[in-house]
Chains A and B, each alone.
Chain A
């Protein structure tokens, strides 16, 4: 084998586009959702591109990839794409082939959906499959939640779109900080320090600088560090910097739930997700408490939101105090911000609901 060619960059996207896209590139006129999971884009020339969107577990084998390639060869002249939420999209020009493709996908156990006012795929992370800092698993919870909410993937009966995301620690890789419902792994105990080895493995100034609340001080006597327990909120960033600071605590690591984030500028503009449930236990393999909490939040929102109202818009209309009343979720001292911009979240008005 020849030596690697460096700095060649990604393959050219133009070589990956089906002819109908090349011919109508930048000339699309409008689109419609024909049914759950099926889009049609109509060009100014009248040309039509059909898209069939299918769910994927994201963590997939080469055998799965080859099977979807077989389908793309059979129905789409060998072209397909993936979405920014890890769904698969088959790109067709022949409308009459759509249902046969959907049947083949169903036979493989791959659902079609994720369009319009649905719950589409869950953006998620590595968890126990490949990461060293997680407080929970990713793939397992995602599977458990999507099994429970499956009907919402294959239908479009919700008031608006619902984006769910998961991150296994508060590095928050992915979209957890800006999703309608977010599932986030958290630690709850102060790291244990391996004083004997720390100076061999870690750079102490980097370590002290890694703490958002300045809880870490050097301990020159031990050539190590100390953590002021009362200032530590268990973010785990010191462990990211230093293997001698152990944050993972299987007895106490847990899951939190956040609501009301969004990205798009439509109507109210982007919003951060905010804390709804500070603690749910890690309960593999099905995380029933997490699944139940997410399902209840989806159903509460679906039952109360006006048409077109996403989670954030619904809560802003009814108020957070009503959100906690309606959801029955306890409001605790954990919900009140105490980081740098805390005061901006306090209520400086007499306007509130009983």
Chain B
């Protein structure tokens, strides 16, 4: 092992109450030359105020086109053990629930072939193994996919379906309106080919939240945001409402006056909700979860187009499907058909590195809706257009 270099700048980040990533790198460095050189190279970055990784890097496993992010040091003569320092993405179980056995077996493999450093988890959701050499990548995959219990597969990278993720859902939340974990697992398995073998114009992400609180930030971080919702009345337990009030809870100030549609009232005894005008923002239910519950006619709203700024500016997904039933055990065929229709249209028309949200803006919503066979409805917009520059389809006007 190379001699440990001094790291005075990073040492400063071992101080203070928040758990220190520097301590973690040092713990790994005690047994791993690559973690030790990572520490040295990071110290150099702190001195130089810039990254010391070369551009890009294409590595992978047999049979797949993604799942591993190649990375090479630009100062390998100083830090030979991070000359290769590739990242392996492992597909996490739905909701990031683990047994210790599942995690320990990953640690054992990573101790043998990697730096001993991880990210739990990457922003998309994957269990990230941080730093290994090219020659170990296939072995790591061979071993994790052959675990006797809880065998694991790689997650996604590149112009493909990325690893779907979901909130804790019905496993541990009374607000869950769809079975987020089951949907996430089902879609991930249904679309394994799209996930492992990039074949699209660009990346495509799916995130699933059990209710409009959107605890996996699906509206901002996925091309397909699937959020649980309901169509019937919020269920009110008036006794429980009165109990909140009796305990001194400021129902007027914290709930009634904050309702975005002002569809609630409390007469001192009974809480009334005009459900036809409720937009299901979750605020009242969040504040009084012992008294208020979502309705029983449950499904999901699907929003399309969320992404970060590159290239046409950041976008949050917008409503395409206001309501879709997603009963557990149904096979989710309607959802799968919808996704396939969207991907087919995007794959046909999308330019290289054009996310579906950008394509919809370039070719217009009307073409997108026709392309996937859906009717326009007012729920898709916050307001109708204000300019008169609208198109007609040829069949809508009289032809000569």
Contacts and interface: CB of A to CB of B under 8 A. Distances in A.
A81 B97 contact: yes
Nearest to B92: A10
A7 B192 contact: yes
5 nearest A-B residue pairs (beta carbon): A147-B16, A243-B55, A26-B170, A13-B94, A146-B18
A128 interface: yes
B9 interface: yes
Contacts of B71: 130, 132
A56 interface: yes
Contacts, number: 352
A37 interface: no
B168 interface: yes
Given A86-B120, A263-B214, A264-B214, A31 B289 contact: yes
B367 interface: no
A349 B151 CA distance: 60
Contacts of A175: 123, 217, 220-221
Contacts of A16: 93, 97-99, 102, 150
Given A1-B139, A60-B118, A62-B116, A21 B172 contact: yes
A66 B52 CA distance: 30
B18 A55 contact: yes
B50 interface: yes
13 contacts: A12-B93, A41-B172, A61-B118, A62-B117, A66-B107, A82-B121, A123-B123, A130-B85, A139-B21, A146-B18, A147-B15, A147-B18, A307-B250
A311 to B, nearest CB: 16
Interface of B: 9-10, 12-13, 15-22, 24-25, 27-28, 35, 38, 42, 45-46, 48-56, 61-64, 69, 71, 85, 87, 91-104, 107, 110-111, 116-121, 123, 130-131, 138-139, 141-143, 145-146, 149-153, 165, 167-168, 170-174, 176, 179, 181, 184-185, 188-189, 192-193, 196, 212-217, 219-221, 250, 253-254, 258, 260, 279-283, 286, 289-290, 308-314, 316, 351-353
Contacts of A70: 100
B120 A56 contact: yes
B56 A11 contact: no
B172 A28 contact: yes
Contacts of A61: 24-25, 27-28, 35, 116-118
Contact of B316 (A110, A131, A253, A272): A272
Q: Secondary structure at chain A's binding surface: helix, strand, loop or mixed?
A: loop
A267 B22 CA distance: 40
Nearest to B164: A10
Interface in A16-62: 16-17, 21, 25-26, 28-31, 41, 49, 51, 55-62
Given A4-B142, A28-B170, A150-B17, A137 B46 contact: yes
B211 to A, nearest CB: 9
A96 interface: no
A111 B18 CA distance: 7
A82 B96 contact: yes
A316 interface: no
B220 A239 contact: no
A176 to B, nearest CB: 8
A46 B193 CA distance: 43
A267 B287 CA distance: 12
Contact of B213 (A110, A235, A265): A265
B61 to A, nearest CB: 7
Contacts of B38: 129
Contacts of B131: 130
Nearest to B129: A62
A81 B120 CA distance: 10
Interface in A50-100: 51, 55-66, 69-70, 72-73, 78-84, 86, 88, 91
Given A15-B93, A84-B216, 13 more contacts: A3-B142, A4-B146, A6-B196, A15-B150, A16-B102, A17-B97, A30-B174, A31-B289, A58-B120, A61-B118, A143-B18, A270-B220, A339-B313
A117 interface: no
Contacts of A140: 13, 46
Given A82-B120, A266-B282, A66 B104 contact: yes
Given A1-B142, A82-B120, A265 B316 contact: no
B32 to A, nearest CB: 9
Nearest to A145: B18
A178 interface: yes
A339 B53 CA distance: 31
A49 B174 CA distance: 12
A123 B28 CA distance: 23
Contacts of A224: none
Contacts of B283: 266-267
A13 B165 CA distance: 12
